[in-house]
Chains A and B, each alone.
Chain A
Amino acid sequence: MYSDVSRRKFLKICGVAAGSVLLGSTVVSSKELLQAAAGKTKYAMAIDLELCENTHACDGINACVHACKTVNVTPPNAYWMMAIESEHITFAERLPRPCMQCDNPPCVKVCPVGATTKRADGIIIVDYYRCIGCRLCAVSCPYGVRYFNWDEPTKERIDQTRAESWSLVNEVWEKAGKELKFDENDTTAPPYMIEIPRPHGVIEKCNFCLHRVERGFDPACVVCCPSGAIKFGNVGDPMSEISQILHEKKYIRLLEEFNTKPNVYYYNTGD
């Protein structure tokens, strides 16, 4: 869908440009699109595992997971952001796991129809109207971040997912004694939904809340983390917060030995 949107947008821009030349007026361009095209922007995520571990309000609920479900209205089986608990990993109490948006993505390689592509800004997207549902990309992903729409979403289920997940996020913030605030211009703020639900039979995955990022806002999991353990930003810009963190801290990336070159970094505040 997103590649569709951006293509449509691109055509629109072209149309507007052509129209503007004809009319003699100025061209209104999409800032993100031009930046992405110039290769200056590259989005990445850095997750502070220590801070995450100390966020006891999240115990058993995980605000990031449910913020993601609220905003992206994923089907019940899909968790674009998943929190892996300490029973299964050794190096952290809790491991938030979004899509790694790899620089050498196995999923993009194997797609037979080019439905999944990597944008110039590093985000890997799925064209829900081109995907044939072969699930080869899901099999090829070492992180297991790709989910399948086994059935058609219904309006009731979407509403229910949104309401339940949103109440869970609020519960965490209440427990933490903080107030969850969104930018007042943020039209994509939960519980309002812009991201469209996917039809049955296609693959979907975390896209760093592309509909929010394109409008200049951070992904939902970043905003809704009560301790601010998840950082998001443009590593192409040396002055951004994430660039500073990656410059100063020691970090790890998951399954680096697979040479997927992931763009999600894990670090500890203390290091």
Chain B
Amino acid sequence: MSELELDHEKTERNMDKILVSVTRTTGGFYKFLIASLLILAWFGFAYYQQLSKGLVVTGLNEPMYMGLYIGTFIWFVGIAHGGIAISAAVTVLNLEQYKPVARLGELLTLICLSLSGIMITFDLGRPDRVINLVKWGRYQSPLSWDVFIIVLYFMGSLTFFYIGLRREMPDMIKKFPDTMMTGVYKFLGAGYKGTKKDKRINDKAGYYLGIALLLIMCSASGFIIPLIFALQVAQPGWFTALLPIYFLAAALASALAAIILIAYITRWMFDWYEFISDKIIHGLGMGLRVFLFLYLYFIVCEQLVMRYAGLLPEQNVSNALFFGEFAPFWWGYLILGLILPLVILILPQTKTTKGIVIASAIVIPALWLKRMLITLPPLSRQLIPNPIIDPATRSTFIEPLTTYGIYSPTWVEWSLFAGTLVIGFLMFAIFAKYFPLIELDVGEVHIEPEPIVATPAAAGGVGAAPEATGPPAQYELCDTTFATLDECCEHAEKEHGIAKDSCDMACAEVKGEAAAPAAGAKMVSKCGLCDAEFASEDECCAHAEKEHAIAKSSCDMACEDM
């Protein structure tokens, strides 16, 4: 979109750096493949057990009808949310600085949504009849809404992902002209040549789909998934209007944590420090802090209402968490899984890149545990105290007669869980072997305009002196500009806790302003909204942003070539 010319040499070098995930295959990759296949074989064996014997091989029983599978399902859907949210935000809200992690996020969304779909079929007693959901589907059932929104979300994300990927196919074909994947790249490119028109059509589709996806994202985790639970009058801990927003906060927290973790790991693996800067991780970390704090607030609200009002069924559930068999997990979660990461993200001493990554690594498994703590306690406390059958034998009552449901996942459930995770890692690894994990235009470097061309002549003799030595290098961090790199580094260390040796990641060089176009140049761009004409597309974009409030990244839509 920019009129600046590409610095082909540097861009090429950056592209090679991004594609290192495709071109470099180490022994570790094969070790990973072999280990995954072994785990998958075990997974296959476990799943065969469940398919042939039925759900009897799981720890599920009456009244614990839902367990690890459903808890993990919510967890996966939650993680799936952030990815598309971030890349849609990049497109729609013009958050260009997060572009390097957009592709990673989209990939995370697609993988986790697939895994959540797999998880829900594990939970079905008759996966062979899953077609009945279409054949006999009832729109009145929350589960039908769920199937609908997950499929819609998946297809939307896939299309959005594809739109982004398609843009890169010409480059990929150029880079890998004679591999077995070239045909696939050509197919995926679907005639995309990288011309201005191609680009505009593609970006426009991405922009509108991004808006739609942001809405679908909120309505999935913040509305429809929790409604499976919130509409069950018989389950006191679930039956609350708080649940949708409660789920949304957890979903976004786990999603941000997952992106931070995956960005940090890939950056370490492929040496992508110049693309995925600490600034990105810090920004995502602050988002994580907000959602974790919201989550804590929702937990306090929920428990306060349940305990203060003291309606017996609700109090039973709350007591199960506070003092009952769930107490170690509940207090463990609250202190180690919620308060601890919050403290890490708040204290300036621990708020470093490493601290944020550690907090994310805590948040993800902790939120899995929390999903189990949402799923299980209401089920275990029945409204009508039916005596409990021993889940191990499934034929004798537990003595002394108890009415508290008992559940512990069996090896089959753990194996299927582990296998599903491995499927996710495999999907990621295989994608990374054939496609770029960072959008290639992140690596584009533009040629700095030569100062001699415009300034000295135009400015006259007065301001010409500093130009002789070139403009002083300026560095930028948290919107403060510094004259030298050292000054900026000092500031980064003091204010943001960034070590000096990694400060080049924090301090970005301020790029020179685009040179003014020569007078009397041909008008090349026209604003489609008010018919004004401009000498360059950049000017038109600036005009569109100022006059018509159209974000620069999407100004293609307003500005037309003449």
- Nearest chain A CB to B556's CB is how many angstroms away? 43
Compute how far the CA of A258 lies from the CA of B133 in the bound complex, rounded to whole angstroms: 28
Question: Is A200 an interface residue when CB atoms closer than 8 A count as contact?
Answer: yes
Q: A133 with B233: in contact, given A76-B389, A76-B395, A144-B386 (CB under 8 Å)?
A: no
Chain B hits for A148, CB < 8 A? 55, 60, 62, 65, 125
Question: Is A139 an interface residue when CB atoms closer than 8 A count as contact?
Answer: yes
Question: Is B394's CB under 8 angstroms from A135's CB?
Answer: no
Compute how far the CA of A79 lies from the CA of B143 in the bound complex, rounded to whole angstroms: 27
Contact of B143 (CB < 8 Å), options: A88, A112, A200, A203: A112
A-B contact pairs, 6 of them (CB 8 A): A77-B61, A78-B62, A110-B232, A113-B135, A136-B228, A201-B55
Partner-A contacts on B (CB < 8 A): 53-56, 60-63, 65-66, 123-127, 129-130, 132-133, 135-138, 140-144, 147, 228, 231-235, 379, 382-387, 389, 393-395, 401, 403
- Nearest chain A CB to B386's CB is how many angstroms away? 5
- Nearest chain A CB to B409's CB is how many angstroms away? 15
Question: Is A106's CB under 8 angstroms from B232's CB?
Answer: yes
- Nearest chain B CB to A54's CB is how many angstroms away? 22
- How many A-B residue pairs lie within 8 Å, measured between CB atoms? 154
Q: Which residue of A lies closest to B228 (CB)?
A: A136
Question: Is A252 an interface residue when CB atoms closer than 8 A count as contact?
Answer: no
Per DSSP, chain A at the interface is loop
Question: Is A150 an interface residue when CB atoms closer than 8 A count as contact?
Answer: yes
Question: Is A202's CB under 8 angstroms from B65's CB?
Answer: no
Compute how far the CA of A97 lies from the CA of B387 in the bound complex, rounded to whole angstroms: 12
Contact of B125 (CB < 8 Å), options: A111, A113, A201: A201
Question: Is B394's CB under 8 angstroms from A76's CB?
Answer: yes
Contact of B126 (CB < 8 Å), options: A85, A89, A140, A202: A202
- A134-150 vs B: 1/0 string, CB under 8 Å? 11101111111001111
Give the residues from 147 to 170 in chain A that come closer than 8 angstroms, CB to CB, to chain B: 147-152
Chain B hits for A78, CB < 8 A? 62
- Nearest chain B CB to A227's CB is how many angstroms away? 22
Chain B hits for A76, CB < 8 A? 389, 393-395
Chain A hits for B387, CB < 8 A? 82, 84-85, 88
Chain B hits for A224, CB < 8 A? none
Question: Is B383's CB under 8 angstroms from A133's CB?
Answer: no
- Nearest chain B CB to A110's CB is how many angstroms away? 5
Contact of B232 (CB < 8 Å), options: A89, A139, A152, A200: A139
Question: Is A142's CB under 8 angstroms from B233's CB?
Answer: yes
Question: Is A144's CB under 8 angstroms from B63's CB?
Answer: yes
Question: Is B141's CB under 8 angstroms from A110's CB?
Answer: yes
Question: Is A151's CB under 8 angstroms from B403's CB?
Answer: no
Chain B hits for A130, CB < 8 A? 129, 132, 136
Chain B hits for A139, CB < 8 A? 65-66, 232, 234-235, 379
- A68-83 vs B: 1/0 string, CB under 8 Å? 0000000111110010
Chain A hits for B66, CB < 8 A? 135, 139
Compute how far the CA of A97 lies from the CA of B384 in the bound complex, rounded to whole angstroms: 9
Question: Is A131 an interface residue when CB atoms closer than 8 A count as contact?
Answer: yes
Q: Which residue of B lies closest to A151 (CB)?
A: B56
- A120-135 vs B: 1/0 string, CB under 8 Å? 0000000000111111
**Interface hub of B126, B147, B393 (most chain A Cβ within 10 A):** B126
Compute how far the CA of A258 lies from the CA of B232 in the bound complex, rounded to whole angstroms: 11
Q: A150 with B55: in contact, given A109-B141, A139-B379 (CB under 8 Å)?
A: yes
Chain B hits for A82, CB < 8 A? 386-387
Q: A132 with B126: in contact, given A77-B62, A142-B234 (CB under 8 Å)?
A: yes
Compute how far the CA of A144 lies from the CA of B61 in the bound complex, rounded to whole angstroms: 12
Give the residues from 84 to 110 in chain A that come closer than 8 angstroms, CB to CB, to chain B: 84-85, 87-89, 97, 106, 109-110
Give the residues from 205 to 249 in chain A that come closer than 8 angstroms, CB to CB, to chain B: none
Compute how far the CA of A105 lies from the CA of B325 in the bound complex, rounded to whole angstroms: 32
Compute how far the CA of A57 lies from the CA of B117 in the bound complex, rounded to whole angstroms: 52
Contact of A152 (CB < 8 Å), options: B54, B62, B136, B403: B54
Contact of A144 (CB < 8 Å), options: B62, B126, B135, B401: B62
Question: Is A141's CB under 8 angstroms from B132's CB?
Answer: no
Question: Is A97's CB under 8 angstroms from B141's CB?
Answer: no
A-B complex: 7 closest residue pairs judged by Cβ atoms: A133-B125, A201-B125, A76-B395, A88-B385, A200-B54, A151-B56, A142-B234
Question: Is A16 an interface residue when CB atoms closer than 8 A count as contact?
Answer: no
Contact of B384 (CB < 8 Å), options: A131, A133, A143: A143
Compute how far the CA of A150 lies from the CA of B135 in the bound complex, rounded to whole angstroms: 24
Chain B hits for A140, CB < 8 A? 231-234
Contacts beyond the supplied A133-B55, A141-B234, A147-B62: 12 A-B pairs with Cβ under 8 Å: A88-B387, A110-B141, A115-B136, A132-B129, A134-B143, A135-B123, A136-B141, A138-B63, A144-B386, A150-B54, A201-B126, A255-B384
Chain B hits for A109, CB < 8 A? 140-141
Question: Is B383's CB under 8 angstroms from A200's CB?
Answer: no
Contact of A131 (CB < 8 Å), options: B126, B137, B147, B383: B126
Compute how far the CA of A179 lies from the CA of B55 in the bound complex, rounded to whole angstroms: 41
Question: Is A254 an interface residue when CB atoms closer than 8 A count as contact?
Answer: yes
Question: Is A143's CB under 8 angstroms from B383's CB?
Answer: yes
- Nearest chain B CB to A112's CB is how many angstroms away? 4
Chain A hits for B233, CB < 8 A? 106, 140, 142, 258
Question: Is B137's CB under 8 angstroms from A113's CB?
Answer: yes
Compute how far the CA of A246 lies from the CA of B382 in the bound complex, rounded to whole angstroms: 28
Question: Is A39 an interface residue when CB atoms closer than 8 A count as contact?
Answer: no
Q: Which residue of A lies closest to B132 (CB)?
A: A113
- Nearest chain B CB to A258's CB is how many angstroms away? 6
- Nearest chain A CB to B18's CB is how many angstroms away? 43
Q: A112 with B403: in contact, given A135-B66, A140-B233, A150-B54 (CB under 8 Å)?
A: no
Question: Is A15 an interface residue when CB atoms closer than 8 A count as contact?
Answer: no
Question: Is A19 an interface residue when CB atoms closer than 8 A count as contact?
Answer: no
Compute how far the CA of A255 lies from the CA of B125 in the bound complex, rounded to whole angstroms: 29
Chain B hits for A144, CB < 8 A? 62-63, 382-384, 386
